[in-house]
Amino acid sequence: MKRDTPQQPRRRKLQWILAAGAVLFVVALLVSPGFPQMRGRWSSALWNLLHVPAFFAITWGTATILPASLERLRRIFYAAAVAFSLGTLTEIVQGLTGRSASLEDLLFDGVGIVLAVIFIARREPWSRRAGWAYAVLVIAALFLCLAPAWGRDLLDGLRALW
């Protein structure tokens, strides 16, 4: 059994504080009625991009906050379940506070959660190939978030390539 070095409990505490702060900050932003409704096609799509890193942070933060004694897979599952429940709840609250509730937002929340689960689930440092694969996955996810803004323009552009 490995013994903890004196820096590990301090590092764990700092990581826990940062994770809790990130979760609280993102939740406060999600339910805040102070943000104006995005109306433009591109401004709305760029706003959707924020869902991915926000729910990545919530999932990672929750996994960090949960007790380390909890089995690893269970901790990841609970973190994903909490993040998805929070996404669902915030969409409901947004609908009640004058902001629009959206299934599209919930989809983008799910993208952030899945990216976080993949990131958290790795057991050892990624090889260069795995790191590149994850980077491509992140870029594809962000591309997915912008896809509604492109709409017909994107489809017409892709058809022009063939």
Retrieve residue 95's tokens: 């609908």
In contact, 51 and 105? CB cutoff 8 Å: yes
Q: What gap in Å lies between CA 1 and CA 16, rounded to an integer? A: 23
Q: Is residue 30 within 8 Å of residue 71, measured between CB atoms?
A: no
Buried b (16+ CB within 10 A) or exposed e, 114-149: bbbbeebeeeeeeeeeeeeeeeeebeebbeebeeeb
Number of domains making up the chain? 1
In a domain, 1, yes or no: no
Selected residue with higher pLDDT from 84 and 99: 84
Supply the pLDDT for residue 7: 65
Domain span including residue 105: 7-161
Distance in angstroms (rounded) separating the CA atoms of residues 160 and 155: 9
* 114 found inside a domain: yes
Confidence (pLDDT) at 129: 87
pLDDT digits (tens, 9 = 90+) for 104-129: 888 889 999 999 999 888 877 788 88
pLDDT for residue 39 is more than 70? no
Q: Of 98, 93, 115, 85, give the one whose Cα is nearest residue 30.
A: 93
| Highest mean pLDDT (candidates 29-38, 46-55, 116-125) | 116-125
Confirm whether 120 is domain-assigned: yes
Q: Does residue 93 sit within a domain? A: yes
Domain-located, residue 2: no
Q: What is the mean pLDDT of residues 45-69?
A: 83
Rounded to 5°, angle at Cα 45 from 44 and 51: 95
- Is the residue at 90 inside a domain? yes
For the segment 127-156, what is each residue's pLDDT rounded down to a tens digit? 888 888 888 888 888 777 777 666 655 555
Note the pLDDT of residue 9.
73
Q: What pTM was estimated for this model as a whole?
A: 0.70
Q: Which two tokens stand for residue 136?
A: 């491509």
